[in-house]
Amino acid sequence: MRILVCVKRVPITGGKMVLTDDAQALETKHLGFTISPHEECAVEEAVRIVEAGVAAGTAGEVVALALGPSEAEEQIRDCLAIGADRGILLETHGEEWDAQATAAAIVDAIRAQEPFDLLLFGNESADAGGYQVGIRVAHALGLPVVTGLKKIDVGDGSVRCERDVGGARDVYEAPLPAVLTVLEGLNLPRYPSVPGRLRAKSKPLEVVEPARPAQRLEKLRLVVPEGHGKQAEILGEGPEAAPRVVEMLQALGVA
Amino acid sequence: MRVVVIGGGIVGNSLAGWLTELGWTDLVQLDKGPFPNPGGSTGHASNFIFPVDHSKEMTQLTLESMRQYREAGTLHECGGIEVARTEERMEELRRRLASAKSWGVDDCRLVTPAEIKELVPFVDESILLGGFYSPSVAVVDSLRFGTVMREKAQANGAQILANTEVEGIDVEDGRVRRVRTTRDDFDADVVVIACGVWSPRVAQMAGASIPLTPAVHQMIDVGPVPRFLDSKTAVDYPIVRDMDTNMYERQDGQGLEVGSYAHRPILHEPGEIPSIEESALTPTELPFTQEDFELQLEHALELVPEVLGDESVGIKYAINGLLSLTPDGLPLLGETPEVKGLWSAAAVWVKEGPGVGKSVAEWMVHGEPEIDLQSSDIARFYPEQRTPQHVKGRAAEGFNKTYGIVHPGEQWESNRGVRVSPFYEQEKKLGAVFYEAAAWERPHWYASNAPLVEEYGIEPREHEWDARWWSPIINAEHLAMRERAAMFDLTAFCVFDVVGPGALDCVQTVAARQMNVPDGRVVYTPVLAPSGGFKSDLTIMKMADDRFRVVTGGAHGMVDMKWFADHCGPDAHIEDHTSAHCTVGLWGPRARDILSSITGDDVSNDGFPFATWKMVDVDGMEVLASRISYVGDLGWELYVPFEQGAKLWDAVWEAGQPHGVVPAGIGVYGTTGRLEKAYRAFGFELDQDYDVVEADMAWWKVKGEDFVGKEAHLAAREGEPAAVCSTLTLTGSKRFPLGREPIVRADGSPLVDAKGRRSYVTSAGMGPSLGKYILMTYLPPGDHGQLYVQYMEELQPVTVEVVGSRPPFDPDNERIRA
């Protein structure tokens, strides 16, 4: 089983969002970078599928692909640390690529590789949130695509997937190869181990510089919505605080 | 007294608690973050404490902190081992053992790899040569302790404010008046900045400087570790410090924390630290930079393969934690020299926080801390040592020394050559080997004197450590001085005048000896702390009724200057002459021949007696000559304005040629020359722990005038000293102790005096004219039998040469009075 997982380097936000002066990007000088929780689950799922295959005697490979600046190597190495076998970096020069351009570059990269059995994406990126790249890649390659998945079972030549729909689940079956986009909660991703980290350093990483096509989506500016950021209210200290805590829990409807 | 304590980390909390305990209850403590973890370095500290350090001051602060943590129920003793991968490190651990004994930490011992394995079964002992085991190493709950102290302050009447950011500090007439915050303005007589990595930014609001830089310390948490799943406490196993890789590994519940001081120095700007709101975690837990940790992971894996090699153990948390680094690695404590009433309690780590809180509180309330904080005094820096280039250069260099093997003579490499004397070019031509003192470049010895080594038959030192930062040329220069004469560059002296109608009052108050003396006198005097211990020792020249010139060592000069300034009434003030004058020292039996050949003035013993100064004419220059000596020979300190320095040097040098003058370095001035004469040095023999009587420096009569420490001094003269500063010698040893080693009995037991102080080597160095290696120490009275110095683990027998201050060389001082 050969699986491709596509990931995107995004800033780790936790506190108040600060924009650059031109409002074109997040100010990231104090921020670390990661991939989205959806993508973490995609990588974990891919690694599990291949690990299970290997345990059953079938060879397999997980390839992690990112389109982004050279620093995105860090995110690919993170994927390699938890078990992906090799990486492909579609290196940009820091500028943003819209969903069409991104999908096109990924499609070109995929065509240059041996065919994959499964192509996994996060349902949407953590920053731009376009919800498009997986679908566009599937369309371009003429593959079936199922989105928003919370469960994946790979069978012989096909994959069975489940998606939450308001208290129930849709169940799909698609022939392989297929494109799947997944959601956080699909699994509980592992932390990298130290040996995994060390192995990741020497795993192969191929760097490709795709040409950036004309963008068809124009970003005007970013706006931070009101009320974002940490909000904490101290209800009190010690046992005296208990009545206020109860009051608050009742107001929130959880008690 | 209305006090504002800014900061709610381990330091601010300890201080607030202690200040209110000592009676300063009109206190406001505030922090811009929430309690109990406002987001500073305390919040992500590893919280473990190894008690032993080579510095007495830091060890005392750490031991006091451990006592407080224990008393508050916030200390868990787990033991700790500093492990060695190299023989060089094993040597260092043996030296550490000696320091442990000197500072009274007795439960430490060296352990074999097998013993390490027994104590910490998850290490790979096969890569280790041994370790230094301290059973009293502990993990503390610094947040809980902080809460205890904050609540104590609150119970004592203090007002505690979280989420309150300082926006300004008002200073009027050089004194702090008010702290302006996002909540309210607070009038204050005293303000303490205990803001950790933010301290420079806060101090700047008052026009003061706190020279530290935020720096990254990387750490990761891995888990769950199968072996730890059944742990009964958070730390069942001793903490391991992997000294040779600058790392540590400690159990933390079901996880293992791995921390590093090995990566490249990553320094930050205090003004660039993200706000609490912008931070993903806290402002001092910055995003981890994996690439800086790669090599460290490999090193850690080598030592604890069972834990870190386990594929099921994940890296769950990884940060670049911010901590504070200073140019010399020591804390920044005390009143800032720029602003009266504005105090710094910064660059303090969890291991010394409570001790610092107590000590700084005592200093503020009583005027003196119980633990001598001379090395940590924030007044110690010269302006050039407060510059960002210096702070960052030294902090970066010091960072990787955190677990380093640091030789006592080791020199800094960054930001050198900042202050040079007017003789610098001449010295370079003579092959001077420069050491740094107070940012000055000072010759320690001269390569041009290499031929003297053979002439005097000086033996090299066999052991590399003993010979490091040393040269046999020092001893040769010494002997040439004793036989002929030597020239010294003493420009690094700190020189300042106390001026004005109130000058005499000021110097009388500060100096223990009589300062109401005729013009032209030079007085060497102790400067005492209120408790009678040493605050400094220095010389004062009486220039005129309204002018006294203080000459003191460069290293401690700025602190001395502040102390005098603090005791100036309204009609006296300080003039700093340090950079206005340069100084050539000329000593040796031929010194008079040399000086008299270049001046028409009377420099005979009658015309120019010891302990006087006068102006003499040399080659068209007016030279202030002061006849005193720290090397025990006839001679003078010669002062001229800076621009005439080169000419003065040349004049003395040329006049000295027929007399065989040699240039000599501070190796002679600071060590061999003074030790033969049993002259004490501040920071070595002299500190606040010992009084004048114990130093055997009590003069025949105490002046009638009041002075700081007088009452204590009079009391000390009444009783018997608990220990007396003494000269020991070591003969026939192939090893050369370098200082701080314990003095012990034949069974290895330490000598402890009636005040609980241990005998340790305060200074060590060769006495070339005596032909003996000299060790200074304080000895309790009584017969102790044969005494030994414990060097590494070996006991070397020593001879008690002199109990007291009588010089072993030229005991009747015939030379200096010749």
Q: For residue range B606-664, what is the model confidence (pLDDT) as tens digits?
A: 999 999 999 999 999 999 999 999 999 999 999 999 999 999 999 999 999 999 999 99
Mean predicted lDDT score pLDDT of chain B: 96
Query: Nearest-CA residue of chain B relative to A229?
Result: B277
CA distance A180 to chain B (A): 27
Mean predicted lDDT score pLDDT of chain A: 93
- The DSSP symbol for B445 reads E
Model pLDDT, residue B277: 84
> Identity (one letter) of the amino acid at A128?
A
In which element (H, E) is residue A63 found?
A: strand A61-68
CA distance A181 to chain B (A): 26
Confidence of residue A255 (pLDDT cuts 50, 70, 90): confident
Asked whether B586 and B576 are in contact (CB, 8 A), the reply is no
Q: Is B314 part of the contact surface with chain A (CB cutoff 8 Å)?
A: yes
CB contact under 8 A, A197 and B34: no
What percentage of chain A's residues is helix, strand, coil (to nearest 5)? 30, 25, 45
CB contact under 8 A, B314 and A191: yes
Within B229-310, residue ranges assigned H as helices are 294-303, 305-308
CB contact under 8 A, B280 and A196: no
What distance in Å separates the CA atoms of residue A86 and residue A71, rounded to the nearest whole number? 16
Asked whether B773 and B717 are in contact (CB, 8 A), the reply is no
pLDDT at A224 over 70: yes
Asked whether B13 and B145 are in contact (CB, 8 A), the reply is yes
pLDDT at B592 over 60: yes
Query: Nearest-CA residue of chain B relative to A192?
Result: B314
> Identity (one letter) of the amino acid at A145?
V
- Helices (H) then strands (E): counts for chain A: 6, 12
Query: Nearest-CA residue of chain B relative to A26?
Result: B278
Joined together, the tokens standing for residue A208 give 């490709």
- The DSSP symbol for B683 reads T
Joined together, the tokens standing for residue B576 give 């700093």
Q: Is A225 part of the contact surface with chain B (CB cutoff 8 Å)?
A: no
Q: Give chain B's length.
A: 818
pLDDT at B798 over 80: yes
User: What integer is the mean pLDDT of B718-735?
Assistant: 93
Q: Is B308 part of the contact surface with chain A (CB cutoff 8 Å)?
A: yes
CA distance B66 to chain A (A): 27
- Closest C-alpha among B426, B818, B409 to residue B584: B426
Least CB-CB distance to B287: which of A12, A192, A196?
Answer: A12
> On the CB side of B509, how many CA atoms lie within 13 Å of its CA?
14
Q: How many CB atoms lie within 10 A of CB B547?
A: 16
List the 315-354 stretch of B: residues with Cβ below 8 A of A. Answer: 315-316
User: What integer is the mean pLDDT of B12-25?
Assistant: 98
| Distance from chain centroid for Cα B106 | 23
Q: For residue range B546-584, what is the model confidence (pLDDT) as tens digits?
A: 999 999 999 999 999 999 999 999 999 999 999 999 999
User: What integer is the mean pLDDT of B221-246?
Assistant: 94
Asked whether B216 and B322 are in contact (CB, 8 A), the reply is yes
CB contact under 8 A, A194 and B301: yes
Q: Is A202 part of the contact surface with chain B (CB cutoff 8 Å)?
A: no
Cα three-residue angle A97-A101-A103, rounded to 5 degrees: 110
Phi-psi region of B457 (alpha: psi -120 to 50; beta: other; left: phi over 0): left
Contacts of B222 in chain A (CB under 8 A): 191, 193-194
Query: Nearest-CA residue of chain A relative to B272?
Result: A30
pLDDT at B84 over 70: yes
What distance in Å separates the CA atoms of residue B475 and residue B675, rounded to the nearest whole number? 12
Model pLDDT, residue B250: 96
DSSP B594-633: HHHTT-SS--STTTS-TTBEEEEEETTEEEEEE---SSSS
- Closest C-alpha among B54, B68, B51 to residue B136: B51
Model pLDDT, residue A17: 85
Joined together, the tokens standing for residue B206 give 């008052």
Q: Which residues contact B325 (CB under 8 A, 6 or more apart)?
A: B212, B213, B214, B215, B267, B347, B395, B398, B399
pLDDT at B183 over 70: yes
β-bridge partners, A162: A151, A171
pLDDT at A231 over 70: no
What distance in Å separates the CA atoms of residue B734 and residue B505, rounded to the nearest whole number? 52
Within B743-799, residue ranges assigned H as helices are none
CB contact under 8 A, A15 and B34: no
What distance in Å separates the CA atoms of residue B150 and residue B329, rounded to the nearest whole number? 28
Q: For residue range B257-280, what is the model confidence (pLDDT) as tens digits?
A: 999 999 889 999 988 898 888 888
Q: Which residues contact A229 (CB under 8 A, 6 or more apart)?
A: A15, A16, A17, B277
Model pLDDT, residue A44: 98
CB contact under 8 A, B279 and A15: yes
Confidence of residue A230 (pLDDT cuts 50, 70, 90): low
Mutate to test the interface with B, among A18, A194, A198, A233 (most CBs of B within 10 A): A194
Residue scoring higher pLDDT (B39 or B233): B39
What distance in Å separates the CA atoms of residue B15 and residue B230, rounded to the nearest whole number? 38
Contacts of A74 in chain B (CB under 8 A): 290-291
Say if strands B138-140 and B75-77 run parallel, antiparallel, or are unpaired: antiparallel
Model pLDDT, residue A187: 97
Model pLDDT, residue B270: 87
Asked whether B73 and B30 are in contact (CB, 8 A), the reply is no
Contacts of A190 in chain B (CB under 8 A): 314
Contacts of B36 in chain A (CB under 8 A): none
Contacts of A83 in chain B (CB under 8 A): none
What distance in Å separates the CA atoms of residue B777 and residue A220, rounded to the nearest whole number? 76
Query: Nearest-CA residue of chain A relative to B280?
Result: A14
Q: Is A12 part of the contact surface with chain B (CB cutoff 8 Å)?
A: yes
Q: Which residues of B are catalytic?
A: 217, 248, 537
DSSP B570-586: TT-EEEE-TTTEEEEEE
Confidence of residue A236 (pLDDT cuts 50, 70, 90): confident
CB contact under 8 A, B280 and A191: no
Least CB-CB distance to B314: which of A13, A14, A190?
Answer: A190
What distance in Å separates the CA atoms of residue B135 and residue B239, rounded to the nearest whole number? 10
Asked whether B460 and B472 are in contact (CB, 8 A), the reply is yes
Q: Is A205 part of the contact surface with chain B (CB cutoff 8 Å)?
A: no
Q: How far is CA B350 from each of CA B11, B72, B362, rounded to the nearest angstrom? A: 8, 15, 19
pLDDT at B299 over 90: yes
Query: Nearest-CA residue of chain B relative to A78?
Result: B290
> Identity (one letter) of the amino acid at A247?
E
Q: Is A31 part of the contact surface with chain B (CB cutoff 8 Å)?
A: yes
CB contact under 8 A, A195 and B298: no
Q: Is A28 part of the contact surface with chain B (CB cutoff 8 Å)?
A: no
CB contact under 8 A, A15 and B298: no
Confidence of residue B796 (pLDDT cuts 50, 70, 90): very high
Q: At B294, is the secondary structure helix, strand, or coil?
A: helix
What distance in Å separates the CA atoms of residue B818 and residue B90, rounded to the nearest whole number? 50
DSSP B88-133: HHHHHHHHHHHHHHHTT--S-EEE-HHHHHHHSTTS-GGG--EEEE
CB contact under 8 A, B280 and A15: yes
Model pLDDT, residue B652: 98
Q: Is B275 part of the contact surface with chain A (CB cutoff 8 Å)?
A: yes
Least CB-CB distance to B309: which of A192, A194, A201?
Answer: A194
Mutate to test the interface with B, among A30, A75, A231 (most CBs of B within 10 A): A30
Model pLDDT, residue A117: 97
Confidence of residue B28 (pLDDT cuts 50, 70, 90): very high
Least CB-CB distance to A32: which of B162, B276, B287?
Answer: B287
User: What integer is the mean pLDDT of A4-13?
Assistant: 94
User: What integer is the mean pLDDT of A209-213?
Assistant: 94
CB contact under 8 A, A15 and B277: yes
Within chain A, residue ranges assigned H as helices are 37-55, 73-81, 99-111, 133-141, 194-202, 242-251
- Closest C-alpha among B508, B534, B533 to residue B523: B508
Q: How far is CA A14 from each of CA A11, B6, B287, B652, rounded to the nearest angstrom? A: 10, 27, 12, 70
CB contact under 8 A, B301 and A198: yes
User: What integer is the mean pLDDT of B404-429?
Assistant: 96
What distance in Å separates the CA atoms of residue B174 and residue B660, rounded to the nearest whole number? 53
Q: At B80, is the secondary structure helix, strand, or coil?
A: strand
What do you get for the CA distance between the two ends of chain A, in Å? Answer: 48
Q: Is A227 part of the contact surface with chain B (CB cutoff 8 Å)?
A: no
Q: Is A74 part of the contact surface with chain B (CB cutoff 8 Å)?
A: yes
User: What integer is the mean pLDDT of B29-56?
Assistant: 95
What distance in Å separates the CA atoms of residue B430 and residue B538, rounded to the nearest whole number? 30
Query: Nearest-CA residue of chain A relative to B258?
Result: A194
β-bridge partners, B239: B80
Contacts of B162 in chain A (CB under 8 A): 234
β-bridge partners, B81: B133, B240
CA distance A57 to chain B (A): 21
Model pLDDT, residue B644: 98
Q: How many CB atoms lie within 10 A of CB B154?
A: 16
Query: Nearest-CA residue of chain A relative to B304?
Result: A194
Least CB-CB distance to A201: which of B286, B294, B308?
Answer: B294
Q: Is A193 part of the contact surface with chain B (CB cutoff 8 Å)?
A: yes
What distance in Å separates the CA atoms of residue B660 and residue A36, rounded to the nearest whole number? 79
CA distance B163 to chain A (A): 11
CB pairs under 8 A between A and B: 75
- Closest C-alpha among B635, B613, B665, B646 to residue B485: B635
What distance in Å separates the CA atoms of residue B223 and residue B805, rounded to the nearest whole number? 60
What distance in Å separates the CA atoms of residue B42 and residue B34, rounded to the nearest whole number? 13
Model pLDDT, residue B263: 87
CA distance A232 to chain B (A): 10
Asked whether B6 and B182 are in contact (CB, 8 A), the reply is no
